[in-house]
Structures are given as C-alpha cells and as structure tokens.
Amino acid sequence: MRCPAKPSAGTWQKEQDAVFEVITISFAFFFGLLVRQVGLPPLVGFLAAGFAINIFGPTLGLPEYTGETLHHVAHLGVLMLLFTVGLKLKLEQIAQPQVVGGALLHFAISVAVFVPGIMLFTPLDWNTALLLAIALSFSSTVLAAKLLETKRELGAFHGRTAIGILIVQDIIALAVLAIWSGQTPNIWALLVFAVPLLRPVLHWLLDFAGHDELLVLMGMLLSLVIGGMGFEAMGLSSEIGALVMGVLLSTHSRAKELGEALWSLKEIFLVGFFLQIGLTGLPDWGAMMFALVAGVALALKGVLFFALMIAFKLTPRSAFLTALSLTAYSEFGLIVAAGVLPEYLVPLAIAVSISFVIAAPLNRFAHPLYERCEHRLRIYQRNTIHPDEQPKKMGDADVLIFGMGRTGSAAYRVMADQGFRPLGLDSDTYKAKAHQEAGRNVLFADAEDSNFWRSCDLGQIRAAILAMDDLEAKLIAARSLRARGFTGPIVSHALHESHQEQIRDAGADYTHLTMNQAGISLAEQTLNAMNRG
C-alpha cells in the first residue's frame, strides 16, 4: 500500500496563504456587512472581525504569520492615509492658536488628571502611570481622518482644526517614544532639512505621471518608500514622513486627483489596521476593567476638547464637531505601549477598540446630534468668534450655489453665462479663496452651521443649487432654506438613487442623479451631432 505523498513546501505555503485570505477577507466582509445593517460604519465590524479571528482563527487553521502580515498591511494603510491627509493640508493650518494651544493644553491637563487617577486605582509605579496617561491622552488620527474624509469634511473649519491638533499630538507621541525607548535619529536625519527642496521635483513628477496607473504608483512611491522607509532609515517616524510627502504636494493643482486615485487602495489596506487591533490579544478580567474605565473616561476627553475650543473663541458648533472628531483613543498609544509598555498592550488595544465603537457612530450622526443639542450649547456662543467662521452677506446675488467643487463650479459658470448673479458658498476656506482669486463670487460658509442660517439674508435669492457631496449637508441645507421661509426652487444633485427621496422630503424641488444626467447630456450631444450631419 502506497503512502500519500507529503505536500511540498511550496504547496503547503500556498494552502496556508489561501486559508489566511479566506478567513481574513470573509470575516472582514461579513462582520462589516452585519454592522452596517444596524446603522454603524463598517470599521466597527472590522474591529469585531479582528477579535473573532483571534478567537476562532486557530481552530480554523489560521497561519501563525497572520499577525505579522496584517501588521505590515495595516502599516501601509496608515502611511497612505497620512499621505492623503497631507495632500489636503496647508502648513498654516497647524500654526493656529486653537490648534497648537488646544493640543498642548489638552495633553498637559489629560496627563495631570490621568496620572493620579491611575495611581489611585492601581498599584502601578509613577513612571508606568505616566506612560499610560500619555498613551490615553492622544486621539486617533486614523479614525478621525477616515471619518472626516468619508464625510468630505477634511477641508471644513472643524476638520482642519481637528487634523491640525492630531498632527501636534502625533509629534508629541513620537518625542515620548524616542525619549523612553532610547531611540534617537541618526546622522542622516539632518537630511530632513533638505526635504522642502524636493518640492519642485515632486511637482514635476506629478505633472509627468499622467492619469493612469503611474499616478497610483507615484503615490505609493512617495508615501511608502520615500516618506515611509526613507524617514525610518534616518531614525525618524515613517508616519510623519508620509505626511510630509503629502504636504509637499498639497499646493499642486492635481493633489486632489492623486488622493482620489489612492482612495480604494488605501481603504483596503486600512481594513488590515482594524483587524490587527483585534489580533493584538484577548483580554483577561483586569484588562477588561481597565478598558471599561477608560471608555467611561472618554467622555472627559471630549468635554475637555470642547471647553478648550470654546476658550479659543470657536463657535459651539465648531467646538462640538472638533471635540467629537477627537473623542477616541489613539493607535499611537498602542505604538507607544509596544515600545515601552508591552505588558499593557492588550488593555490599551481593548480601550482603543471600545473608543472606536463609541466614536464611530457618534461622528456618523454628528450634525443631527448638534441640532438636537444646540439649544443647550448656544449659551457658550461668544459675541466675537473666530475670523474663519464669520458669517458673510449675500450682496446682490440672486442664485446660491452650495459646494464649489466640479459640479458646483460648472453650475456657477452656466448661471453666470445666462445673466444671473450666482454666489458660491463652500465650507473649505482654501477652496473659496482659490475661486475668489480666479474672479468668481465665492465665499466661505458652512451650510450645516446654524449660525450661518441665523445671519444670512435670503431676500434677493431666487433659486438655490445644492452641489455638495455629503448627503447630510444637502438635507440640512434644504431644511434650513425652507425654515427661513425661502419659497424659490431648490435643485440638488444626488450621487445615489436612494438619496433622491430623502433630499426631496427635506425640501428640494428637483434632484438629479449626477452620473445619469451626464449620460443624458452625452446622448443629447450625440443626437445633435447626428442631426447636423
């Protein structure tokens, strides 16, 4: 009787790889799909999938190298995310009092409160308590950037403020890691001062890269190779390196196109980030108690951010949205723990996971939440507010266009050509400024801000066009226009057919499916050309 042949090393490796792919992809998809049915963002499902893989993976034959593989994929996702954030970042955003002051004061107050609290309820020494307090003081860059980007609010005032604070926090985290771990930059780190000289070369490369797969490869080269591995080789943070590469290209006219080209690839890699949190380890009773207490303390983090933003003269709405974006524990806390507190990595991973589960749905419904709380928060409104948030007058405009991206800009040109006096409004101050420099009548204003609606004069406005991408923004704008007594036509574009009824219920008269209308226009131009022929 012949014995069955043993599988070769290559065949065995392929089988292991297949098991890894089947389990990770299947668990991520079905858990993400499950939580979406209850109104939660898929990333909450990815977190749950990570813990499920940790529990059931060994029984299903998951390879031992799964953790390392997901860690590598997650790291690539974080680098690409920070690179795309850098593409939308302007350096002057960081040099703002509410950004630098808010980040430093929140860090100092959080550590001052957490250290005695940790020492009071645990037998830890002072140094360990300090490191845990520092790890808990940071907010999640990955979660905030992903949620703000999904809602198209990275360019909004509260989005720019939150990202600026997160960058300052990340710099503090890297300094802490370097001090406690004994890691210091090497002599090659001096080359970082020459990085700005790369800007002309990078701009030329972006012009030369075209619009196809070379554009995606250029983004990967800059974020993963030059920014990531390049900065690591100098003894610096690969995360900061990826962010810096993005900032160097942020002033280029094709920066947005590059970010969009990397979107899907970055999203896939980031699934690995959320999965690997669950694979960090399974908690014992002590770890669960630590995480639950940290989850309760999460409210203090949000309240402190809100108070600091109010102190820096932001409106209650901007302070609320900024604080909500920052109310989650940071993945950098896990990096700090891995380097200097490995025994607390699992409790911190559970705390971060709980904070994500709490923060993700809250941020998803941030604007409706503020609408419900506005009457209580209005008492914090100051007579003087931040210059970026000052409401604007409509002038002699007779058509309002909300959202001055490609769709809004096209609508603006048509209305102006027809003899109307359009006024474009956009929540991104840099985009509004670029339109102004091009000679268009565009102002900064956030259609989701109740302060704008209380101060605006709609007396001469005959029609309104809603050209924003975010569904919630269109719903709030339509409802607010009708609440102010506006009786003219409201026309909105819609990205999905399922959104049309919601927008009409909010007060819009007409909705147009953007891609559908593009197809109709193409067909009409084709028919006209055929008739002329």
Identify the residue whose tokens are 């569904």. Answer: 471
pLDDT of residue 339: 59
Q: What is the DSSP-derived secondary structure letter of residue 446?
A: -
pLDDT band of residue 1 (cuts 50, 70, 90) is very low
Q: DSSP characters for 57-103?
A: TTTTT--TTHHHHHHHHHHHHHHHHHHHHHHT--HHHHSSHHHHHHH
For the chain, what is the total number of helices (H) and then of strands (E)?
25, 6
HSE (CB half, 13 Å, CA atoms) of 404? 28
Q: At what angle do helices 66-87 and 263-278 cross, to 10 degrees?
A: 140
The whole-angstrom separation of Cα 476 and Cα 371 is 10
Q: Residue 495: is its pLDDT beyond 80?
A: no
340 contacts 132 by C-beta, under 8 angstroms: no
pLDDT of residue 484: 83
Q: DSSP characters for 42-56?
A: HHHHHHHHHHHHHHH
Q: Averaged over 380-399, what is the pLDDT?
A: 68
Which of 293, 314, 296 is closest to 305 using CA atoms?
314
Q: Residue 389: is its pLDDT beyond 70?
A: no
The whole-angstrom separation of Cα 517 and Cα 96 is 42
Which has the higher per-residue pLDDT, 265 or 189? 265
Identify the residue whose tokens are 């029984």. Answer: 59
- Cut 0.75: pTM above it: no
pLDDT of residue 432: 83
pLDDT of residue 406: 83
Q: At what angle do helices 126-137 and 331-340 cross, to 10 degrees?
A: 160
User: 35-44, 98-107, 132-141, 207-216: which range is least confident on average?
Assistant: 35-44
Identify the residue whose tokens are 């147009």. Answer: 512
* Span 500-522, pLDDT tens digits: 888 888 888 888 887 777 777 77
Identify the residue whose tokens are 């970026």. Answer: 388
Q: What is the DSSP-derived secondary structure letter of residue 262?
A: T
% the chain with pLDDT above 90: 7
Q: DSSP characters for 199-227?
A: HHHHHHHHHHS-SSHHHHHHHHIIIIIII
pLDDT band of residue 102 (cuts 50, 70, 90) is very high
* 126 residue type, one letter: W
Arithmetic mean of pLDDT over the chain: 81
Q: What are phi and psi of 466, to 5 degrees?
A: -100, 105
Identify the residue whose tokens are 């609606």. Answer: 453
Q: Which residues pair with 466 in a beta bridge?
A: 402, 492
115: its two tokens: 């250290």
Identify the residue whose tokens are 């896990």. Answer: 334
Q: Residue 100: is its pLDDT beyond 80?
A: yes
Spatial CB neighbours of 28, under 8 Å, sequence gap ≥ 6: 45, 46, 49, 271, 275
The whole-angstrom separation of Cα 215 and Cα 208 is 9
Residues 303-308: contacts with CB under 8 Å, at least 24 apart: 304/106, 304/109, 304/110, 305/102, 305/106, 308/98, 308/101, 308/102, 308/105, 308/106
401: its two tokens: 């266009």
Sheet bearing 510-513, strands edge to edge: 442-444, 422-426, 399-402, 463-466, 490-494, 510-513
204: its two tokens: 């030329």
If one counts every other C-beta atom within 10 angstroms of the C-beta of residue 32, the result is 21
Residues 381-385: contacts with CB under 8 Å, at least 24 apart: 381/315, 381/316, 381/451, 382/310, 382/313, 382/315, 384/313, 385/313, 385/314, 385/315, 385/451
If one counts every other C-beta atom within 10 angstroms of the C-beta of residue 455, the result is 13
The whole-angstrom separation of Cα 208 and Cα 221 is 15
Q: What is the DSSP-derived secondary structure letter of residue 228?
A: I
* Span 306-343, pLDDT tens digits: 999 999 888 888 899 999 999 998 876 766 666 567 77
* Span 236-262, pLDDT tens digits: 778 778 888 888 888 887 888 888 888
Q: Is 490 helix (H, G, I), strand (E, B) or coil?
A: strand
The whole-angstrom separation of Cα 215 and Cα 257 is 9
Q: Is 456 helix (H, G, I), strand (E, B) or coil?
A: coil
* Span 345-383, pLDDT tens digits: 778 878 888 888 888 888 888 888 888 888 888 788 776
Q: Which residues pair with 399 in a beta bridge?
A: 422, 463
Distance from the Cα of residue 222 to its chain's centroid: 20
* Span 424-463, pLDDT tens digits: 888 777 788 888 888 888 888 877 776 677 667 777 888 8
* Span 283-295, pLDDT tens digits: 778 778 888 888 8
* 344 residue type, one letter: Y
Q: At what angle do helices 97-121 and 126-137 cross, to 10 degrees?
A: 140
* Span 140-165, pLDDT tens digits: 887 888 788 777 777 778 888 898 89
pLDDT of residue 327: 92
Give the Å distances, CA to CA, from 75 to 23, 94, 156, 250, 270: 20, 24, 27, 22, 8
pLDDT of residue 308: 94
Distance from the Cα of residue 362 to its chain's centroid: 14
Q: Residue 183: is its pLDDT beyond 60?
A: no
